[in-house]
Amino acid sequence: WFEGYEWIVRANPDISLVDPLPLEARMASSASAVLFICGIRGDTPRVDSDFFAGRPELMDQEYWTRMPPADPSMRKEIE
């Protein structure tokens, strides 16, 4: 589903990039993903799921079909 893309970016509709330069810099590097920490529970950082960017070739492609999407109509899009 993500063939041909170097990066995929997922953002909630209420997310806006005020300054895209830090994201562009990370995407121009050899990074596998760009994640943001939204807090720490115990010793474990919590990753913010409102926004992420990642290289699809490094993702588990089967994950998208194993997990039920929040929007059931999305399943038709990824199958």
47 - beta bridge partners? Answer: 37
Does residue 66 register a pLDDT over 90?
no
Taking the C-alpha atoms of residue 43 and residue 34, their distance in angstroms, rounded to an integer, is 21
Of the two residues 37 and 79, the one the predictor is more confident about is: 37
Taking the C-alpha atoms of residue 61 and residue 44, their distance in angstroms, rounded to an integer, is 26
| pTM: predicted TM-score of the whole model, two decimal places | 0.65
Q: What is the mean pLDDT of the chain?
A: 80
53 - beta bridge partners? Answer: 9, 34
pLDDT band at residue 36 using 50, 70 and 90 as cut-offs: confident
